[in-house]
Amino acid sequence: MARKKESRPKPMMDAWFENAGITQEETITDTLEKNYLPYAMSVIISRALPEIDGFKPSHRKLLYTMYKMGLLNGTRTKSANVVGQTMRLNPHGDQAIYETMVRLTRANECLLHPYVDSKGNFGKHYSRDMAFAASRYTEVKLAPICETLFADIDKETVDFIPNYDNTMTEPALLPATFPTILVNANMGIAVSMASNICPFNLQELCETCIRLMDDPAHDLLSTLKGPDFPSGGYLLYDEAELRKIYDTGRGSIKLRSKWNFDKAAGCIEITEIPYTTTLEAIKDKITELAKAGKLREVSYARDEIDVNGFRLAIDVKRGTDPDKLMQKLFRMTPLQDTFGCNFNVLIGNTPKVMGIREILEEWLYFREDCVKRRVYFDLTKMRHKLHLLEGLKKILLDIDKAIAIIRATPEEALVVQNLMDGFSIDEIQAEYVAEIKLRHLNREYIMNKLQDVDKLAEEIADMEDILAKPARIRKIIKKELKETAKKYGQPRKTMFYHATEEDIAPPEDDTPDYPVHLFLSKEGYFKKITPQSLRMSGEQKVKEGDYICQTVETTNRTELLFFTDKAEVYKVRASALDDTKASVLGDFIPVKLGFNEDEHVAGMVTTTDYKGMLVFVFANGKAAKVPLSAYETKNRKKLTNAYSDKSPLVAMFYLTDDRDMLVQSSANKALLFSTADIPEKTTRQTQGVNVMNLKNGQTLTSAYLPEEEQLPQLETYRTKNIPAVGKQAKNLEDINQTTLW
């Protein structure tokens, strides 16, 4: 008889391999909800956005660690020590913690009121290349202003939460006595949202807070004049934009560098730059423009930063007007830049974009709660102390009885209970009495303690009154704001600049203006030649098989539009292309302007005012007329869909007035008509109208603008209306030319 095989459960590893490779269908929304949404929420709530106390979690953890290390009043310690201790609260790595510290230091000059007093090289906010030293070399402690951040933090003014491994606690917020959220710049990029808060002057902000408590409708702009940046410079004052920012929390501020002209040295000295840029960014832009010939007045820009502070020197050529040059630099370089405001703050773990009034109101609610909790903490302590003294008062009225009870008690453990029974006091009071030293049982001690009872009762009543009256809470906040402003306030660094007519006026075109001849070959080679150079050598050099297909006399300031066979147009000023000679091939336009692969020049249009029109003729017998103004743009250098690509382009013409046009088909039929018969369309992609009726398989092969003297012999091909079939072409060898121009 065969033995039956026993079935045993498969090992766990075998079961795992059995299901390996099996995929389960899951909707993208479920995947995002399970995997991406928790990450996004973590970034928004726990990393990127500041809360109403003005800090992100990384800032708060670092400063609280330094506070617990005794660095508020103690001496400096190595930054590495602080970084190591902070990792108990912030598990994001030592380098991330140190970079956070760098931004908070006085030496970095990133904050209007730095929180960290530093010693050593911490780099500079205004320099991209000035790297900070390693944490083992630098030293730090908390700046004196941090007293306001941690005032009464040990009196349960804020909630404490466990750290990431539940081994210690940290404050959820810091009980700052002034609105730090608006005093120091704060920028953060979260998922699908960001925050960018500009700094304001401490004295102005404290005064505004006080006024707002007195009058909720207070005009903020009357006391809070405008943002104040640690880098100084000028703020282009725009009252309407400032009011918009104050009301909505969104808007932009234009910042301008501070400069002076050293006539003896022949250079412009930049001493303060916008908060949003760096020294290297300015230098790189000036160098780029100078090389491109757009800043011919500048000979050199050099960094002259030293122990005295920031200084960028720009050497200018003799005869240059420094005021006009600076206007040009403000337009073309980051010497004038924009700060985009986005006051996005976490309120109760919810991101909210708020105006300044709403932010200050939220801060006042937060600060009122801190003051209430502090008063309640002190009140609880005093009530406890009063309770003890009331028990002591009963004992002190009959000390002999108390001593007799204690002496008559056989065991120490029964002393408290006997005192409770003998004087009708509770256990807490009896414990306190039992611990009093024998030396304190004198008349002076007794009288002092009895006086403390009355004093404590008055203080408790006062604190209860404070908690019952919001006006008294706000009075305390006002007092703290005044003290903070007086102690830590400083003069405004960013001054206001009111735009002049010179700032508002459109910039003058200082491009050199002189006559030039432009040449374009069929293969796409371009030359810009001055008349003097052309007179010296009039023979044009071209590649074998190539020829000059277009010649234009114009000026150096004209704009050039290069149309391609892919229905695109590239725009460039003639001044941006180098002067050359007839004896060279010139610039290859597809490479010079960055054409796409397999894209070739179809033709060139020159203009200074975008007047006139373009006529496009297509192989399907249609023609379109588009005003040149349809191609006018401010900054775009490339336009797609320059004309219809439904049918191959046969020819295109730039006209200032309507002309007679001769077209010919593959069936050797010709047609003469006026371009006035083609209606003008403002849409660049228009297919136009039929001008020549074609049979199946036929195409329109050429188009030409005949000269006045050629028209009499072509009248036989003229039609009154279009479209038309045309007539059999005869003797057109000298006239029929396929051309784009």
pLDDT in tens, 568-578: 999 998 988 88
How far does Cα 494 stand from its chain's mean position?
Answer: 19
Alpha helices in 264-355 (DSSP H): 279-291, 322-332
344 domain residue, yes or no: no
Identify whether the C-beta of residue 202 lies closer than 8 Å to the C-beta of residue 485: yes
Residue 371: which pLDDT band, with cuts at 50, 70 and 90?
A: very high
Q: Are residues 158 and 267 in the same domain?
A: no
| Average pLDDT estimate for 17-36 | 76
Same domain, 312 and 167: no
User: Where among 175, 203, 233 does a domain terminate?
Assistant: 175
Beta carbons of 607 and 631 less than 8 angstroms apart: no
pLDDT digits (tens, 9 = 90+) for 139-151: 999 999 999 999 9
Give whichever of 5-9, 175-179, 545-549, 583-587 has the largest mean pLDDT.
175-179
Q: Give, in order, the Cα–Cα distances in Å from 78 to each of 92, 145, 340, 696, 725.
A: 20, 20, 36, 88, 92
On whether both 123 and 269 belong to a single domain, the answer is no
Query: Is 458 part of a structural domain of the chain?
Result: no
User: What pLDDT shows up at residue 3?
Assistant: 46
Q: What is the largest CA-CA distance in the chain?
A: 148
Q: Is the dihedral of CA 15, 21, 22, 26 positive or negative?
A: positive
Q: What is the percent of the chain where pLDDT is above 90?
A: 63
Mean pLDDT of 616-634: 92
- Position 741 scores a pLDDT of 41
Both 64 and 162 in a single domain? yes
For 536-541, which contacts have Cβ atoms below 8 Å and span 24 or more sequence positions? 537/581, 537/582, 537/583, 538/582, 539/582, 539/583, 540/582, 541/582, 541/583, 541/584, 541/585
Is residue 641 in some structural domain? Answer: yes
User: What pairs with residue 138 in β-bridges?
Assistant: none
Residues carrying an active site annotation: 137
Mean pLDDT of 23-27: 78
Q: From 234, 336, 328, select the one nearest 282 (Cα to Cα).
A: 336
| pLDDT above 50 for 48 | yes
pLDDT in the model for residue 11: 53
Determine the residue type at 658.
D
536 with 667, same domain: the answer is yes
CA separation for the pair 574, 561 (Å, rounded): 10
Q: In whole angstroms, give the CA distance from residue 267 to residue 262.
A: 5
Residues 562, 701: one domain? yes
Residue for token pair 């098989």: 545
For the stretch 684-722, pLDDT in tens is 999 899 999 998 889 999 998 998 888 888 888 998 889
Encode 717-737: b = buried (16+ Cβ within 10 Å), e = exposed: bebeebbbebeebeebeebbe
For residue range 383-428, what is the model confidence (pLDDT) as tens digits? Answer: 998 988 888 888 877 888 888 888 888 888 888 898 888 888 888 8
319 or 253: whose pLDDT is higher? 253
Q: Give the list of residues 6+ apart from residue 719 with CB closer than 8 angstroms, or none.
A: 671, 672, 673, 726
**Contact 299/317 with Cβ under 8 angstroms?**
yes
pLDDT value, residue 71: 96
- 434: confidence class by pLDDT, cuts 50, 70, 90: confident
Report the interhelical angle of 79-86 vs 94-104 (nearest 10°): 120
Task: Look at the chain and count its residues.
Answer: 741
Residues 162 and 270 in one domain: no
Name the residue with higher pLDDT: 170 or 290: 170
Question: What is the average pLDDT across 546-557?
Answer: 91
Going by the DSSP 8-state scheme, the letter that residue 507 receives in this structure is: P
Q: Transcribe 567-600 into DSSP letters.
A: S-EEEEEGGGSPP--TTS--EEHHHHTTPPTT--
Query: What pTM was computed for the model?
Result: 0.75
Of 250, 256, 199, which Cα lies nearest the Cα of 228? 199
Arithmetic mean of pLDDT, 202-230: 96
> For residue 205, which of 56, 16, 360 has the smallest C-alpha distance?
360
Contact indicator for 117, 78 with CB cutoff of 8 Å: no
Q: Considering the domain boundaries, does residue 738 fall inside one?
A: no
Name which of 78-92, 137-151, 329-343, 429-443 the model is least confident about.
Answer: 429-443
Residue 718 lies in domain: 515-728
> Are 713 and 566 in a shared domain?
yes
Confidence of residue 734 (pLDDT cuts 50, 70, 90): very low
Q: What is the pLDDT of residue 62?
A: 96
Phi-psi group of 83: left, alpha or beta (phi > 0 → left; psi -120 to 50 → alpha; rest → beta): alpha
| pLDDT of the residue at 436 | 79
Q: Is the pLDDT of residue 126 over 90?
A: yes
Say yes or no to pLDDT of 506 above 70.
no
Which of 334, 351, 379 is the last residue before a domain boundary?
A: 334
pLDDT given for residue 7 in this prediction: 47
Residue 198 binned pLDDT confidence (cut-offs 50, 70, 90)? very high
- For 21-159, strand residue ranges (E) read 77-78, 116-119, 139-142
What pLDDT is attached to residue 595? 92
156 and 279 share one domain: no
Name the β-bridge partners of 261: 268
User: For position 314, which CATH number holds?
Assistant: 3.30.1360.40
pLDDT at res. 18: 61
Residue 2 has a pLDDT of 46
| pLDDT exceeds 80 at position 518 | yes
Mean of pLDDT values over 445-472: 88
Radius of gyration of the chain (CA): 41
Domain match, 266 and 150 both: no
Average confidence score pLDDT of the chain: 89
Question: What is the CATH classification number for the domain harbouring 675?
Answer: 2.120.10.90
Q: Is residue 685, in this structure, part of any structural domain at all?
A: yes
Q: How open is the CA angle 75-310-131, to the nearest 5 degrees? A: 60
In a domain, 568, yes or no: yes
In this predicted structure, which of 123-127, 273-277, 343-347, 536-540 has the lowest mean pLDDT?
A: 536-540
The domain total for the chain is: 3
**For residue 723, cis peptide bond before it (omega within 30 degrees of 0):** yes
Higher pLDDT pick, 476 / 533? 476
Residue 456 lies in a domain: no
Instruction: Give CA separation, 492 vs 44, 224, 740, in Å.
Output: 33, 11, 64
Residue 550 domain flag: yes
Residue 88, domain CATH = 3.90.199.10
Same structural domain, 664 and 552 = yes
How far, CA to CA in Å, does 184 sit from each of 104, 333, 580?
Answer: 10, 26, 55
The identity of residue 371, as a single letter, is V
Q: How many CB atoms lie within 10 A of CB 689?
A: 16
In a shared domain, residues 140 and 263: no
**Final residue of a structural domain among 286, 317, 334:** 334
